[in-house]
Chain A
Amino acid sequence: MASIKQNLADQPLPDFRNAGVMLRILLGVNLLALLAALVQSEGLSDSLQHFVDLAAWVQPVLLFNLALLALLGKLLQRPAVWIGRALVLLLAAGSAGLVSEFWLFLTFDQGGWQPLVRAALFGGMAAAFMLSYLALRAAALSPALAEARLQSLTARIRPHFLFNSLNAVISLIRLDPRRAETALEELAELFRALLRDPRELVPLADEIALCRQYLDLEKLRLGERLQIEWELGDPPLGLEVPLLLLQPLLENAVYHGIEPSAAGGTIRISLLRRGQELHVELANPSPAGVDHSRGNHMALANIRERLALYYDLEARLEAGELTLVDGRREYRVRIILPCRDRSP
């Protein structure tokens, strides 16, 4: 089971194929180079000259390393974490040394072994610095998850839903015992998912199945008031996604969009693959006089945090209300995920 519930020491290597990680490394190393230039120089304009000199070999080394790490990304995840880290450090130090040697060769400089070691040290230390920063960042985002887990039962499933569903099931026992059985099974499945560690990843197909069970239960209570439209455009069913990525959003949609309306409405869910991205869109009617923001924030903030942790900058979550052509108002949430397989 893929998960990210580690301490800082065994925090896995960052996903080097992630654009956000690349960007952070690019900016971080350049900041280090700027710092080095500032330390070396005496004046401000002087430091700029130093930085340009330094950049001449920092940039090629950096780009070479990023490209190599992206290619090796999967291989590096395979051995123990400390071996992976050591390999990254060796790679950075080695390539920094080599490029500096090559540079000296081009400029006919004879520096001996000292510049080479200096360059290797700079490369290795920069890599160590970036690795610790990324590990710290991942760890900093994790407490939010631990907290979310503590609050799970009240924050992620509304007690309102739980007790109303139990009430509905009880009313079914005399009328339709078989339906009552199914409903209790669905409720059990839902609670099993809710009690799991929120940091786990599950196949998209499982999350969709969970959503269907949840909606089935809501349909029991709300009957014809709740209409569902699924649009599945070849979604990657095997893709691993954060647990409970969609269900809390559906619960919001039912609570804010369907329950306050006597006539009910339709919730539309679409999962479409667009190139290398998965586009998930949820839309529900927004009845007049209903404040969507209250209580909605918690679920959205929680999902947003988990997306930042798993995908860094590569996933997006947008939410907002808009007015349709016929004057009705609709609330939409859209999540865009990279379709890449993340498992090592």
Chain B
Amino acid sequence: MTSTPASPALSVLIVDDEAPARARLRDLLADLAGELPNQVIAEAENGLLALAALEDHPVDVALVDIRMPRMDGIELARHLAQLEGAPAVIFVTAFDAYAVQAFELNAVDYLLKPVRLQRLLAALHKLRQSRSLTPAQLAQLQQSARSHLSCHERGRLLLVPVVEILYLKADLKYVTARTREREYLLDESLTQLEQEFGQQFIRLHRSALAAREAIVGFEKSGPEDAEPQWQALLRDIPERLPVSRRQWPLLRSYARQLGS
């Protein structure tokens, strides 16, 4: 069933990892149908599945739980913010003091579980004029590092799992993420990525971060008599990344830790 132009029903996506919570929202939306025609187009158990569902079924509004496995609600909103014609996001949370404070501060509409019928109706009614958080505000809200990075390609949103990234390299305006298969262009800054993923990545030189677990060794290069220039060897790709003289002491101690 798809909405026809005659009945411009509001199309909704429900994202929550708990089945009863999804059922509750579905019930409430059904109760509202008389006052506000709507249709639940899809449901998803986490942010990752929500993005996949949105590819096939674009919707007007997504009701998004915050705490979910694999990809949480905040990260989902961050990826959606990059997408053109993305649905409006209304966060639904049971108890998340930190996020609620941010919503209040920025006059962003949100719903608290258990959600009340009137409250849901009001939120859906003022959807058009309601505000949403900026990407920077969302980034601040996210308490753990993202599970995926996203990039635009021919109007589509591509997700790159952070665990698959071997290195991140800055060239002029863009940052390139290299996985075993290919490269992706990201619209992010290397410094911010280093801050967010400091646990997983280590800096090799001014413009490159390598995944700690992808580093398999270091190799000396350059002419015999000159001062040695070190290069990092990464798993799965033949490419070698130069290590700057400044970073070498740090990386050498990291390599020793690995060896021991």
Interface check A80, CB cutoff 8 A: no
In the complex, identify which listed stretch (A106-114, A163-171, A330-338) lies at the interface while the others stay far away. Answer: A163-171
A163 to B24, CA, bound (A): 13
Tell me, in angstroms, the Cα distance from A158 to B145 when the chains sit together.
Answer: 23
A171 touches B46 (CB 8 A): no
Contact B95 A171 (CB under 8 A): no
**Given A167-B20, A168-B21, A170-B24: A261 and B69 interface contact (C-beta under 8 Å):** yes
CB of B114 within 8 A of chain A? yes
Which residues of A lie under 8 Å from residue B113 when comparing CB positions? Answer: 163-164, 166-167
Q: With A and B bound together, what is the CA distance between A114 and B24 in angstroms?
A: 85
Q: Is the interface of A mostly helix, strand, loop or mixed?
A: helix
Interface contact B70-A166, CB-CB below 8 Å: no
- The answer to whether the Cβ of A262 comes within 8 Å of any Cβ in the partner chain is yes
Docked-complex contact A222 and B18, CB < 8 angstroms: yes
> Does A160 lie within 8 Å of B18, measured CB to CB?
no
CA gap between A166 and B115 in the complex, in Å? 11
Interchain CB contact (< 8 A) of A164 among B18, B46, B144: B18
Which residues of B, 18-45, contact A by the 8 Å Cβ criterion?
A: 18-21, 23-24, 27, 45
Q: Mark A255-298, 1 if CB is under 8 A from B, else 0.
A: 00001111000000000000000000000000101000000000
Confirm or deny: A320 has a beta carbon within 8 angstroms of a beta carbon on chain B: no
Main secondary structure of the interface of B (DSSP, over half): loop
Contact assessment for A221 and B67 in the assembled complex, using a CB-CB cutoff below 8 Å: no
In the bound complex, residues from chain A placing their C-beta under 8 Å from that of B96 are 160
* B20 cross-chain contacts in A, Cβ below 8 A: 167-168, 171-172, 220-221
A162 to B20, CA, bound (A): 14
Tell me the complex Cα distance, A311–B24, Å: 46
A187-231 residues with Cβ-Cβ distance < 8 A to B are 220-223
Query: Could you tell me the distance in whole angstroms from the C-beta of B47 to the nearest C-beta in chain A?
Result: 11
Question: Do residues B21 and A159 form an inter-chain contact, with CB atoms below 8 A?
Answer: no
Q: By the criterion CB–CB under 8 Å, are A166 and B114 in contact?
A: yes
Interface presence of A174 (CB below 8 A)? yes
Chain A 138-185 interface residues, beta-carbon cutoff 8 Å to B = 158-160, 162-164, 166-168, 170-172, 174-175
Report the minimal beta-carbon distance from A306 to chain B, rounded to whole angstroms: 26
Say yes or no for B75: interface residue by CB 8 A criterion: no
Name B79-122 residues within 8 Å CB distance of A: 94-96, 112-115
B145: A residues at CB distance < 8 A: 289
**Does A163 lie within 8 Å of B21, measured CB to CB?**
no
Q: Counting chain B CB atoms within 10 Å of each CB, which of A162, A171, A175, A261 scores highest?
A: A171
Nearest opposing residue in chain A for B25, CB measure: A171
Residues of A within 8 A of B18 (CB): 164, 167-168, 221-223
Assess the B46–A262 pair: CB atoms within 8 A. Answer: yes
**In the assembled complex, which residues on chain A have CB atoms less than 8 Å from the CB atom of B23?**
171, 175
Residues of B within 8 A of A175 (CB): 23
Candidates B45, B69, B95; contact of A160 at CB < 8 Å? B95
* Chain B 118-145 interface residues, beta-carbon cutoff 8 Å to A: 144-145
Contact status B112-A171, CB under 8 Å: no
Partner of B67, one of A162, A172, A259, A261: A259
Chain A residues in contact with chain B, CB under 8 A? 158-160, 162-164, 166-168, 170-172, 174-175, 220-223, 259-262, 287, 289
Residues of B within 8 A of A (CB): 17-21, 23-24, 27, 45-46, 67, 69-70, 94-96, 112-115, 144-145
15 inter-chain pairs at a CB distance below 8 angstroms, sorted by A residue, are A160-B67, A160-B94, A163-B114, A164-B21, A167-B18, A167-B20, A167-B24, A168-B21, A171-B21, A171-B27, A220-B20, A259-B67, A260-B69, A261-B69, A262-B45
The 3 A-B pairs at the shortest CB distance, nearest first, are namely: A171-B24, A163-B94, A168-B20
